[in-house]
């Protein structure tokens, strides 16, 4: 199976669930299940990639820099690389 955004979002939702961040996991799963235009919008959103309060910035940090946070960062890196290759970017991805 080719890697793509829905696969990365499912991995992201799994990490969020294991971190007890069920609301964020639900947001990510809902984005992956919606149509292509909603998926593209979420992939370039500040909700995912923005600053303070975004998934990239704050998720899995309640207990500090844990292995789950590092796992989340790994998924975000893979997703970001995929997005850069596909031209579906938010300027914050490269950060």
For the stretch 27-39, pLDDT in tens is: 999 999 988 888 8
Q: Is residue 12 part of a domain?
A: yes
Residues 54 and 6: their CA atoms lie apart, in Å, by 19
Q: What is the mean pLDDT of residues 36-49?
A: 89
Structural domains of the chain, count:
1
Domain ranges, residue 50: 5-87
Q: Is residue 95 part of a domain?
A: no
Q: Is residue 93 part of a domain?
A: no
Residue 2, pLDDT > 60, answer no
| 77 neighbors 64 (Cβ within 8 angstroms) | no
- Collapsing DSSP states into helix, strand and coil, what is residue 23? helix
Residue 8, pLDDT > 90, answer yes
SS3 content of the chain, % helix, strand, coil (to 5): 70, 0, 30
Q: Is residue 10 part of a domain?
A: yes
């Amino acid at each position: 199976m080719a890697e793509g955004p829905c696969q990365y979002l499912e991995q992201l939702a799994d990490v969020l669930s294991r971190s007890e961040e069920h609301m964020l996991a639900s947001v990510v799963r809902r984005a992956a299940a919606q149509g292509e235009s909603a998926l593209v919008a979420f992939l370039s959103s500040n909700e995912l990639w923005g600053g303070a309060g975004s998934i990239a910035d704050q998720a899995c940090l309640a207990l500090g820099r844990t292995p789950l946070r590092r796992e989340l960062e790994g998924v975000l890196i893979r997703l970001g690389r995929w997005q850069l290759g596909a031209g579906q970017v938010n300027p914050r991805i490269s950060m």
